[in-house]
Amino acid sequence: MTGGIARFIGLAGIAAMAALALAGPLLVGHDPARQNLMASLPPPLSEGHLLGTDHLGRDMAARLLAGARITLSLAAFAVLSAACFGTGLGILAGWAGGITDRLLGAFADGVLALPGLLLVLLLAAIHPNSWWTLYAGLALTLWVEFFRMSRARTRIVVAGPAVEAAQMLGLGRWHIVRRHLWPAVATQVLTLAAFGAATVVTALATLGFISVGLRPPTPEWGVMMAELLPNWREAPWTVMAPVICLAFTVACLRLCAGREEEA
Amino acid sequence: MTLKVEDLTVCIGDRRLVGPLGFSVARGEPLTILGETGAGKSLLAQAIMGALPRGLNATGAVLLDGQRLDSLPERARQALWGRRLAMLPQEPWRALDPLMAAGSQVAEVHALIGRTPWQKARSLAEQTLTRLKLDRRAGAALPGTLSGGMAQRVAFAAATAGGAGVLLADEPTKGLDEMRRDEVVRLLADFVAEGGILITITHDIAVARALGGQAMILREGEVVESGVAERVLSAPQSAYGRELVAADPATWPLPESRPATGDSVLRAEALSVARGQRLLCAGIGFDLPAGGRLAITGPSGLGKTSLLDTLAGLIPPSAGRVERLGRARAPFGLQKLYQDPPAAFAPQVSLATSLDDLERRHGLPPDRLPSLLQRLGLAPDLLARRPRAVSGGELQRLALARVLALAPAVILADEPTSRLDPVTQRRVMAVIAEAAEEAEAAVILVTHHATMARHWALEVLDLERNAEVQTAA
Amino acid sequence: MPLAMGAASRRLAGGGMLRIVAGRCVQAVIVALVVGVVGFAMMEALPGDAAFRIAAGRYGYDAVSAAAADLVRAELGLDRPAPARLAEWLGHTLVLDLGRSVVTGERVAAAIASQLANTVSLAVAAMLVALAISLPVGCLAGLAPGGVLDRVSAVLSIGLRATPAFLLGVVLMLLLAVELRALPAAGHGRASHLILPSLTLGLFLTAVLTRVVRNAVAETVASESFQFARLKGLPLPVAFWRHGLRNASVPVVAYLGVQAALILEGVVVVESLFAWPGIGHALTHAIFQRDVPMLQGTALTLGLAFVVLSFLVDLACRALDPRMRA
């Protein structure tokens, strides 16, 4: 599959998911939190419930859409914050050099002292089940990646003849950022953003599954998977639903990221 | 011993890249294949060795002492490598293993191919390196710490340690300054004198002249001329051959020396340049008149580029001073030309955008750039492309136009043609001289090519002999 | 994938040994400070009055009174301003005085010591699984880039890489333990209990490791220096052994620094999923139970393990690549 088609498919998938998330549970017409213990675990396509209900009778489709909202909004905010701060500070550090570079670099190294997931886990321990704490932790961890990439590229570009020539010709700083620095980091920023979003989605589900991130009754996909797993035998399709949503979202984001290999 | 090639052609799929060509090389009579870089000359060496990259294939016969090599199965042919056929790679600092000591890379050939015990192999390697004027320290060092010339000698020792009688040298003097180039030529000449068969591939005519024997000129993969080197290089029959010979700076007419026309624009007094702690050169002094042409020469490592940066005001001098006078005092009175033309432009925008930015920034009259482009022989449709899509020669002329648009008093040219092939080099140097004269701009040229400096500039400052300014004689 | 993707381990490339050691020491101190601050913040965030809680813990909820709580408050200095208490708290953390678990009452250090063996055995088993797959597959795929093995392993790698560790574990658990009943689903005790967790973590690690090995081998074999070694006359296996391996191992060993982060993150998830009684499992339980001393102890252990592993990778890189010894 060529890069272009893959990206397009990825983008289309995410756009579809985002549209559904925006429309939200209202689309399906059920309240995701409303329980009905009498009607638990019917299969999908039963009357009134497009995807069936979970073990407490809550409508699956509504919960999945609510979960999409939580996941995509967290991913979008975290990645956007990390990208803006990381890239901006990285360019600053790479260009200014000297003490600015060292201070920012030291801060970045400090964040990397612990593995990312552990850092987020610890922060989430202070305020459990908090969207904002998870957002802060994830943004903090992702920021470093953008910072390092843009700092490294900026250093190379600024030391090269093209920037020197531009300076000798009297073209100012704004020109250098616009024509030299931004194009050098732009594609990488987009790739890192897509990978970062995939990472956030996965991390959120992981933390939810082991109950240290968002917790029941929050309709987050990882939480739902953990809740529904004991009912595997009776209602496998109900467990599969959040899995499919997660897999679809992550796959689309990775397709958007393109062929870049990690590590 | 004879190496004979008949109808050798290298193709990629259906497309013919090089050939068909044929020649016969005997002991004592080296063959030099000349042509511009990228004419597929390297593919010839790879085809003869049997080491073509995936996707390319060769047809035609290669015979060593009557035995056909091209029809041998792959393993048998690879068994000849090092033992009967040796190849000297283009950029030895990339070909040597960066993680293994230089001496070991020679010794291992003796041990594993010559089957000598390791002790003996190591002492043999040491002997070879000493003969090539490399001391023990160089033998124990990693290739990354060796200079270009030293790395080339190590590569030579390693390539020939297997005892091969045939040596294919692929651009052996690429990136080396004149003195190192002469050293490598001597190495190759010694190989021939000891009874080896040598085929050299190069774009440098001086190398062909020095080696003698036979010469063959290639253009776009086809043979344009061949014969005895002396005859081909002094009286070429083909048009391209004549162009190539004329491109050798040694054949350029000496510039007419003019009396000092105008006032000084740039003066250096007791200038010293250092990078970090290391002092690179000291006691430099000169007086550059308006419209003058000064060349600064010397081997690599003596700080030519740093000196230029000091003159441009990019780094402060460690001692002495640089004074700008007259027109050079204007804000953009000093401009610079760079060694690698595409690297001096913003890579991801079109050339038109870059030039527009310049126009807007300085409020240039709208016809200034177009007229300069026309004067320098550049077609306007070039501007729609990005830097990498334009040839080196055209891009360097574009850089010159860009610089001239600001009407500078001094142009500092840092090896502006070292990445270009000889024919383009001649054209670009001529253009720089003419355009600068018209614009009444003085030029300071930095180059490692001493001959070119003498045949182009009015004054030469040789850093090796430490700051003696000589007028072209 | 680790949360801080490729940059997970800050490599102190180049420079003297002293600089590397100093850097890792600073990292260890930062870990301790972060864990300490988080622990302190957790304590502060607990609802209710800490003094009252501790007094109730001592005398029982029925016997406690406001006066008793005040005495406790004075005794433990709980009425001092926050920065002073934080400083004291951090002081305890930095000297590794970890206290006792609020839930079980046993000394945290003792509990961790017994859990550490379990975590180490899981990590080692997982690395063995990962290496057993990545090294042969990666080398063979790298030696024949574009071939069948290369393409198939690339597709598998992409799929596996995108799967979160917990999902991988759940799938394996459902397949092998629930449906096929071949292995026990969770727990600890017999050797067969180690299989599912180490298989999960191993497969998770191997997804990217295989590609890293493959890329390193392919690049080395295509490099000009490898070509030259062949042209000098060295046969393929000899050239690979003398020149290829060392050059190819440099990026692989560097990647192991990133792997260290992946292993530690993976250990937390896999142990929790399979109820493997190691440090990761203890950490997640300490979080739900708000057992602050236990949380600090386990987090500190994992964090310091990361520093140690990163340091070992630094040493290995320096040993392999003499260019780094400035």
Is there a single domain that holds both residue B295 and residue B354? yes
Please count the structural domains in chain B: 2
Give mean pLDDT, residues B82-103. 88
Domain coordinates in residue numbering, chain C: 108-325
Q: What's the pLDDT score for residue A101? A: 92
Nearest CA among B436, B409, B421 for reference residue B267? B409
CB contact under 8 A, C167 and A128: no
Task: Provide, as residue numbers in chain A, all residues whose Cβ is less than 8 Å from the Cβ of B343.
Answer: 160-162
Give mean pLDDT, residues C168-180. 86
Is B409 part of a structural domain of the chain? yes
Q: Measured between CB atoms, does A148 come within 8 Å of chain C?
A: yes
Is B259 part of a structural domain of the chain? no
Which among C225, C238, C250 has the least Cβ separation from residue B96?
C225
Q: Residues B21, B34: contact at Cβ < 8 Å?
A: no
Q: Which residue of A has its CA nearest to B348?
A: A183
Q: Measured between CB atoms, does A177 come within 8 Å of chain B?
A: no
Task: Provide, as residue numbers in chain C, all residues whose Cβ is less than 8 Å from the Cβ of B94.
Answer: 224-225
Range of lowest pLDDT (A81-95, B187-201, B315-329, C195-209) = B315-329
Nearest CA among B159, B433, B389 for reference residue B295? B433
Nearest CA among A95, A80, A72, A92 for reference residue A20? A72
Q: Residues B217, B236: contact at Cβ < 8 Å?
A: yes
Query: What's the gap in Å between the CA of A226 and the closest CA on chain C?
Result: 10
- Domain-ending residue, one of B251, B272, B298: B251
- CB neighbour list of residue C81: distance below 8 Å, 6 or more residues apart: none
Q: Which residue of C has its CA nearest to B112?
A: C234
Cα(A196)–Cα(A184) distance, integer angstroms: 19
Task: Provide, as residue numbers in chain B, all residues whose Cβ is less than 8 Å from the Cβ of A162.
Answer: 343-347
More confident residue, C195 or C62: C195
Nearest CA among B450, B407, B445 for reference residue B307? B445
Handedness of CA C277, C283, C287, C292 (dihedral sign): positive
Type of residue numbered C13: A
Q: Which residues in chain B (371-400) have CB-CB distances under 8 A to chain A? A: 399
Range of lowest pLDDT (A16-25, A104-113, A212-221, C216-225) = A16-25
CB contact under 8 A, A179 and B406: no
Phi and psi torsions of B252, nearest 5°: -70, 150
Q: Measured between CB atoms, does C174 come within 8 Å of chain A?
A: yes
Percentage helix, strand, coil for chain C under 3-state DSSP, each rounded to 5: 75, 0, 25
Mutation for testing the C interface, residue in B97, B100, B146 having most C CBs under 10 Å: B97
Cα(B135)–Cα(B129) distance, integer angstroms: 7
Q: Measured between CB atoms, does A223 come within 8 Å of chain C?
A: no
Q: Measured between CB atoms, does B89 come within 8 Å of chain C?
A: yes
Residue C8 pLDDT exceeds 50: no
Task: Provide, as residue numbers in chain B, all residues whose Cβ is less than 8 Å from the Cβ of C232.
Answer: 81-82, 86, 109, 113, 158-159, 161-162
Q: Measured between CB atoms, does B173 come within 8 Å of chain A?
A: no
Is B256 part of a structural domain of the chain? no
Task: Provide, as residue numbers in chain A, all residues whose Cβ is less than 8 Å from the Cβ of B340.
Answer: 161
Phi and psi torsions of C185, nearest 5°: -75, -40
Task: Provide, as residue numbers in chain B, all residues whose Cβ is less than 8 Å from the Cβ of C229.
Answer: 97
Q: What's the pLDDT score for residue C5? A: 44
pLDDT digits (tens, 9 = 90+) for B349-382: 999 999 999 999 998 898 888 999 988 888 888 8
Q: Measured between CB atoms, does B144 come within 8 Å of chain C?
A: yes
Q: What is the pTM (predicted TM-score) of this model?
A: 0.84
Is B258 part of a structural domain of the chain? no
Phi and psi torsions of B95, nearest 5°: -85, -20
Give mean pLDDT, residues A139-157. 93
Give mean pLDDT, residues C301-314. 92
Q: Residues B96, C225: contact at Cβ < 8 Å?
A: yes
Q: Which residue of C has its CA nearest to A149?
A: C7
CB contact under 8 A, C27 and A113: yes
State the pLDDT confidence band at B263, using cuts at 50, 70 and 90: confident
B114, with CB counted inside 10 A (0-12, 13-18, 19+), is: middle
Cα(A180)–Cα(A48) distance, integer angstroms: 57
Task: Provide, as residue numbers in chain B, all residues whose Cβ is less than 8 Å from the Cβ of A179.
Answer: 346, 348-349, 353-354, 357
Q: Measured between CB atoms, does C264 come within 8 Å of chain A?
A: yes
Type of residue numbered B259: P
State the pLDDT confidence band at B472, using cuts at 50, 70 and 90: very low
Nearest CA among B448, B457, B460, B405 for reference residue B429? B457
State the pLDDT confidence band at A85, using cuts at 50, 70 and 90: very high
Query: What's the gap in Å between the CA of A40 and the closest CA on chain B?
Result: 59
Tokens of C149: 């093995």
Which among A109, A113, A141 has the least Cβ separation from residue C3?
A141
CB contact under 8 A, B162 and C232: yes
Is there a single domain that holds both residue B204 and residue B235? yes
Is there a single domain that holds both residue B278 and residue B221? no
Type of residue numbered A81: S
Domain coordinates in residue numbering, chain A: 3-27+48-262
CB contact under 8 A, B142 and C321: no
Task: Provide, as residue numbers in chain C, all residues whose Cβ is less than 8 Å from the Cβ of A248.
Answer: none
Is B180 part of a structural domain of the chain? yes
pLDDT digits (tens, 9 = 90+) for B43-86: 888 899 988 888 888 898 999 988 888 888 888 999 999 899 99
CB contact under 8 A, B155 and C242: no
How many DSSP H helices and E strands does chain A contain?
A: 10, 0
Range of lowest pLDDT (A79-83, A230-234, C67-71, C194-198) = C67-71
Is there a single domain that holds both residue B326 and residue B221? no
Q: Measured between CB atoms, does B330 come within 8 Å of chain A?
A: no
More confident residue, A259 or C198: C198
Cα(B246)–Cα(B35) distance, integer angstroms: 13
Q: What's the pLDDT score for residue C50? A: 66
Which among A111, A120, A263 has the least Cβ separation from residue C208?
A263
Q: Residues B448, B300: contact at Cβ < 8 Å?
A: yes
Q: What's the pLDDT score for residue B74? A: 87
Cα(B133)–Cα(A218) distance, integer angstroms: 77
Angle at B349 between CA B344 and CA B354, to 5 degrees: 60
Interface residues of chain C, partner chain B, Cβ below 8 Å: 224-225, 227-235, 238, 242-243, 246-247, 250, 320-323
Cα(A220)–Cα(B250) distance, integer angstroms: 78
Range of lowest pLDDT (A12-16, C2-6, C159-163) = C2-6
Q: Which residue of A has its CA nearest to B349?
A: A179
Q: Establish whether the linkage from the previous residue to A217 is cis, with ω within 30° of 0.
A: yes
Task: Provide, as residue numbers in chain C, all residues whose Cβ is less than 8 Å from the Cβ of B83.
Answer: 233
Give mean pLDDT, residues B84-104. 88
Which among B82, B94, B96 has the least Cβ separation from residue C233?
B82
Residue B471 pLDDT exceeds 60: no
Phi and psi torsions of B468, nearest 5°: -95, 120
Q: How far is CA A41 from the centre of its chain?
A: 31
Interface partners of C (3+ CB pairs, < 8 Å)? A, B
**Domain range for residue B34?**
2-251
Cα(B51)–Cα(B418) distance, integer angstroms: 29
CB pairs under 8 A between A and C: 146
Q: What's the pLDDT score for residue A47? A: 61
Residue B37 pLDDT exceeds 70: no
DSSP string, A175-244: HIIIIIIHHHHHHHHHHHHHHHHHHHHHHHHHHHHTTSSS-TTS--HHHHHHHHGGGTTT-HHHHHHHHH
- CB neighbour list of residue C175: distance below 8 Å, 6 or more residues apart: none
pLDDT digits (tens, 9 = 90+) for B129-144: 998 888 888 888 888 8
Task: Provide, as residue numbers in chain C, all residues whose Cβ is less than 8 Å from the Cβ of A1.
Answer: none
H helices of B142-177, in order, are 148-160
Residue C12 pLDDT exceeds 60: no
Q: Measured between CB atoms, does B336 come within 8 Å of chain A?
A: yes
Task: Provide, as residue numbers in chain C, all residues whose Cβ is less than 8 Å from the Cβ of A211.
Answer: 284, 288
Residue A261 pLDDT exceeds 60: no
Give mean pLDDT, residues B187-195. 91
Is there a single domain that holds both residue B300 and residue B379? yes
Is there a single domain that holds both residue B400 and residue B287? yes
Which DSSP symbol is given to B33? E
CB contact under 8 A, B99 and C323: yes
Q: Residues B10, B58: contact at Cβ < 8 Å?
A: yes
Place of tokens 């300085």: B362
Which among B332, B348, B349 has the least Cβ separation from residue A169?
B332
Residue C216 pLDDT exceeds 70: yes
Cα(A65)–Cα(A57) distance, integer angstroms: 16
Topology given in CATH for the domain delimited by A3-27+48-262? MetI-like fold (1.10.3720)
Is there a single domain that holds both residue B23 and residue B123? yes
Q: What's the pLDDT score for residue A46? A: 60
Q: Measured between CB atoms, does C253 come within 8 Å of chain A?
A: no
Which among B51, B94, B99 has the least Cβ separation from residue C231?
B51
Q: What's the pLDDT score for residue C1? A: 43
Is B152 part of a structural domain of the chain? yes
Phi and psi torsions of B111, nearest 5°: -75, -45
CB contact under 8 A, C323 and B49: no
Interface partners of B (3+ CB pairs, < 8 Å)? A, C
The percent of residues above 90 in pLDDT, for chain B, comes to 25
ipTM: 0.84
Q: Residues C283, C301: contact at Cβ < 8 Å?
A: no
How do strand B67-68 and strand B56-64 relate by DSSP bridges? Answer: antiparallel
Give mean pLDDT, residues C5-34. 73
| Whole-number average pLDDT of chain A | 86
SS3 A154: helix
User: Which homologous superfamily is C108-325 in?
Assistant: MetI-like (1.10.3720.10)
Residue B30 pLDDT exceeds 90: yes
- Domain-ending residue, one of B217, B251, B285: B251
Beta pairing partners, B202: B34
